[in-house]
Amino acid sequence: MSLKMSCQVAICYCIFFIFYLSIAFAEDKATSSNSTAATICKSTPYPSICKSVLPNNNSTANVYDYGRFSVRKSLSSARKFLKMVEKYLHHSRAKYLTISAIRALEDCKLLAELNMDFLSTSFQAVDKTSKTLPQLKADDVQTLLSAILTNTQTCLDGLQATSSAWSIRNGLNVPLSNDTKLYSVSLALFTKAWLPKTKKKPFHTNKHNPLKNGHLPFKMSATNKAVYETVSRRNLEETAPDDDNDQVLVSDIVVVSQDGSGNCTTITEAVAAAPNNTDGSNGYFLIYVTEGVYEEYVLVAKNKKYLMMIGDGINKTVITGNHSVIDGWTTFNSFSFAVAGQGFVGVNMTFRNTAGPEKHQAVAVRNGADLSTFYSCSFEGYQDTLYAHSLRQFYRECDIYGTVDFIFGNAASLFQNCNIYPRLPLANQFNAITAQGRTDPNQNTGISIHNCTIKATDDLSLASTSGKSVSTYLGRPWKEYSRTIYMQTFLDNVVHSAGWRAWSGDFALNTSYYAEFNNTGPGSDFSGRVTWPGVHFINSTDAANFTVSGFLIGDDWLQQTGVPFSSGLLS
């Protein structure tokens, strides 16, 4: 390159940098300048609620002051709501409530407790700063505030689905509605004040694949070497990767074996043995679950963080249950396996709900764990198989089976290199692969399906060849701002030419965001797609927003799991 050309390039960079700084300065000045509550509230989804909550004594403040006040007010409201739910549960001992109503209230109690934790953490993040947060910290807080709205909606959904809980709904509907609007205001003010205007995009695809001989590379940080060597000989071969950073750090190991040869005979016992509230710096607490069918309902609670669970393989290590809505469980609590502990990793296992299609909603896995990962796992059910409930989640090389809305929820969930299998539903039913539950335009949630394969199961294929018509759709809008994206995915002819199906009338057809990018296969022909305003055929720039890097900021946390991933679009 000549000296003259080098100078020209340098000048261009300088001009761009000055231009960028001027924009950033203007944005910071606009954000930090004082305004009345009425002016600030115009940028929120509920201006009237916003004005009624924020101090409005003709004084002015900046958006950071108003944002802090709103989050603090939200925390107070969450605390009051929790006390109301506890009061109802206390009266249930007098036999005023049915079992199904009690279960719905217990869900609300758990979700309200989570909301208090999330709001407390969010307030600590914004309490002492009046400038844009770093990208990772901002994404953390936006994720928590998004989950608070999801938790509140889940509580409301559970109460509405319980016919015997009408008296409770009458008492809780108004505070639930008001709290939802207040939380939405808090999320909007946070987005305006602390969230960076743009996310850093990857310049190229980073393919991270630390596997050696098909195994995750482990390294012990503690002294339980005898157990480690025993486990290694059976399933977790110790490997020596080229880069020490690729090794998965393990703090301790317990073995679950039904024949009594391990440390525990049940998975629940092993989860209870895990330490509470670890930060992952010393590695994962590893639970190795040997081959067998485990008929137990497993819950990895929120205080069981950075737990890794590895089985002997799909259809070898199986966790199974049969709870369903028809049998009196809420959808939220119909799981066979549920996880809420941050940093969970599940590998080489099958999760199954055997309630069957006639029992309607019956969840195999409910995932509400932030920064969670499932690798080489199978999720099997019919309606509502995989409840990707909230926070940030990654699925790689997994199999998901189901019929109606079988991947659903309101997490920021990304499925990469997975096999998604619509199966034969009940007579007169149709299949919907996704039912995404985003309720607010400022939530950073959605379902992203990247480089996956959508194919019918054998029973569905046989029914189709026998003349039984079953329509299978990419998704339908469960909530108003439903968001689902299919990218670089093989869509077989099982996918209906319309692509997407309405939920009820014209509900959410204008506000949902459904997108397709560079898909292949007979089902990818979009000439017959529905023409709703919410349906888009996007370019690579827009698609990059829904990659591991753009959607999950996964480059910063997935590497420690040892699970392979591609950070950007495939070239």
Query: Distance of alpha carbon 102 from its chain centroid, rounded?
Result: 26
Phi-psi group of 313: left, alpha or beta (phi > 0 → left; psi -120 to 50 → alpha; rest → beta): left
Q: What are the beta bridge partners of residue 288?
A: 255, 310
**Which two structure tokens, joined as six digits, stand for 81?**
């709501």
Query: Phi and psi for 455 in degrees, rounded to 5?
Result: -140, 150
What DSSP designation does 134 have? P
Note the helical H segments in 93-165.
99-126, 135-160
User: What is the distance between the alpha carbons of residues 388 and 437, in angstroms, rounded to a whole number?
Assistant: 10
Amino acid (1-letter code) at residue 322: N
Whether 218 and 247 have beta carbons less than 8 Å apart is answered as: yes
Segment holding 69, helix H or strand E: helix 63-92
What DSSP designation does 275 have? P
C-alpha angle 34-39-43 in degrees, rounded to nearest 5: 110
What are the contacts of 53-57 at 24+ separation with CB within 8 A?
53/182, 53/185
User: What is the distance between the alpha carbons of residues 112 and 106, in angstroms, rounded to a whole number?
Assistant: 10
Q: Which residues contact 65 (CB under 8 A, 6 or more apart)?
A: none
Q: Which residues contact 509 (CB under 8 A, 6 or more apart)?
A: 477, 502, 532, 533, 534
Q: Is residue 370 annotated as part of the catalytic site, yes or no?
A: no
State the maximum Cα–Cα separation within the chain, in Å, rounded to a whole number. 87
Amino acid (1-letter code) at residue 88: Y
Helix (H, G, I), strand (E, B) or coil at 23: helix
Nearest residue to 246 (alpha-carbon basis) of 568, 565, 570, 569: 565
C-alpha separations of 286 from 232, 347, 398 in Å: 12, 11, 20
Whether 284 and 250 have beta carbons less than 8 Å apart is answered as: yes
Catalytic residue among 405, 459, 542, 555: 405
Q: Report the chain's terminal Cα–Cα distance, integer Å.
A: 28
Whether 49 and 152 have beta carbons less than 8 Å apart is answered as: no
Q: Which residues contact 136 (CB under 8 A, 6 or more apart)?
A: 553, 556
Sheet holding 372-375, edge to edge: 218-220, 248-256, 284-289, 307-311, 345-347, 372-375, 392-396, 412-416, 446-450, 483-487, 513-517, 535-537
User: What is the distance between the alpha carbons of residues 235 and 223, in angstroms, rounded to a whole number?
Assistant: 19
User: What is the distance between the alpha carbons of residues 386 and 193, in angstroms, rounded to a whole number?
Assistant: 34
C-alpha angle 224-248-227 in degrees, rounded to nearest 5: 20
**Which two structure tokens, joined as six digits, stand for 216?**
């995750």
Q: Cite the active site residues.
A: 405
